[in-house]
Amino acid sequence: METLITQLIAGAVGGNAAGAGLKGSSMGTMLNTVVGLIGGAGGGQILGMLSGGAAAVAGEAAAPGMDMGGILGSVVGGGAGGAILTAVVGMVKNKMAG
């Protein structure tokens, strides 16, 4: 559960950072945050599966808590996922608007 919360927070931060950095793709603070949350959860989960974090998540029931590597992986995956999804959705929205 802590892993998902970390990914969501990092995704929201990444989404807002992408919106601030790419002014043409920004959709406003609220929408950047929502899209960042979704991207953070998705990006964090994908990175966790690619790096073998699924075993760590399964083992979390036996030994709750996160190590520093798990926290860092969640922050990086969530932040990157949130930023990437926000940038992509912002670009698509701008192209559809004309």
User: pLDDT by residue (tens digit) across 23-71?
Assistant: 888 889 999 999 999 999 998 888 888 877 554 554 454 455 568 888 8
Q: What confidence score (pLDDT) does residue 31 get?
A: 94
In whole angstroms, give the CA distance from residue 30 to residue 27.
Answer: 8
Question: Residue 73: which H helix or E strand, with range?
Answer: helix 68-97
Residue of higher predicted confidence among 86 and 58: 86
Q: What confidence score (pLDDT) does residue 66 get?
A: 65
pLDDT over 70, % of the chain: 86
Q: What confidence score (pLDDT) does residue 50 get?
A: 85
Residue of higher predicted confidence among 15 and 56: 15
The pTM (predicted TM-score) of the whole model is 0.80
Burial of 48 (0-12, 13-18, 19+ CB in 10 A): buried
Sign of the C-alpha dihedral, residues 74, 75, 76, 80? positive
Q: What confidence score (pLDDT) does residue 98 get?
A: 72
Q: What confidence score (pLDDT) does residue 51 get?
A: 78
